[in-house]
Amino acid sequence: GAGVSQTPSNKVTEKGKYVELRCDPISGHTALYWYRQSLGQGPEFLIYFQGTGAADDSGLPNDRFFAVRPEGSVSTLKIQRTERGDSAVYLCASSLGTDRTAFFGQGTRLTVV
Amino acid sequence: EDQVTQSPEALRLQEGESSSLNCSYTVSGLRGLFWYRQDPGKGPEFLFTLYSAGEEKEKERLKATLTKKESFLHITAPKPEDSATYLCAVLSGATNKLIFGTGTLLAVQP
């Protein structure tokens, strides 16, 4: 596609439920990033992939968070046992390489009630 | 520790009133400094990449500059449509992470 696509754009879930957030990067981009952004804050790094492997997952807050990119293209961020504190906008970005400009999607606004 | 600090947190300008936004950084091995614009409810939109001290980039009313410690985003004769949050980020050579500041919320009044 022309840009990074994220689905859904909005997700409301109940505390304790499992959610999956999808990111479809720009075609040909090998690096893929997930960020989380709270209101009034800059994006906070979660994890990045180079190809299919998670090159750095040090930003994932705890083991309820997990991300995959099985074929080196689409990525899914998975959150188990959601908590109200997980409410935020989850941003995905992709780039041609880790030293190249990252382009962002529109984000998924997650609300845990 | 890699860190990015942006100032001011918020800035209100009259249309046509030029100003500058600041981004101060400490990073292990700067591989690039990036400026993004973010509108409410949208993802960050790429503006500029700067790689070395002394480099400058321009786009319409915006000009970004870089020194060894900070970057400035100069806005010349702004218009109301320039109102947005401007984010600065650095790419760390040590960690390969893009580290963001908290942004400057710019409001340009007609």
The verdict on a CB contact (< 8 Å) between A44 and B100 is yes
Q: Up-side HSE of residue B105: CA atoms within 13 Å toward CB?
A: 7
For residues B106 and B86, the answer to whether their CB atoms sit within 8 Å is yes
Domains and CATH numbers, chain B: 3-109 (2.60.40.10)
With 0-12 CB in 10 A as exposed, 13-18 as middle and 19+ as buried, what is B11? middle
Nearest to B44 among A40, A44, A104 (CB): A104
**Which of A56, A91, A107 faces B95 most closely, judged by CB atoms?**
A56
Q: How many residues does chain B have?
A: 110
Q: Does the structure show a pLDDT above 60 at A1?
A: no
- Whichever domain contains A94, its CATH number is 2.60.40.10
CB contact under 8 A, A102 and B100: no
pLDDT tens, B59-102?
Answer: 999 999 999 999 999 999 999 999 999 999 999 888 888 899 99
Closest CB to B42: pick one of A33, A93, A106.
A106
Decide if A105 and B99 are in contact by the 8 Å CB cutoff.
no
Extended beta strands in chain A, E state: 5-7, 10-13, 19-24, 31-37, 44-50, 53-56, 65-68, 75-79, 88-95, 103-104, 108-112
Encode pLDDT of B41-58 as tens digits: 999 999 999 999 999 999
- The residue range of the domain holding A49 is 5-112
Binding-face residues of B in 77-96 toward A, CB within 8 A:
87, 89, 91, 95-96
- Total domains, chain A: 1
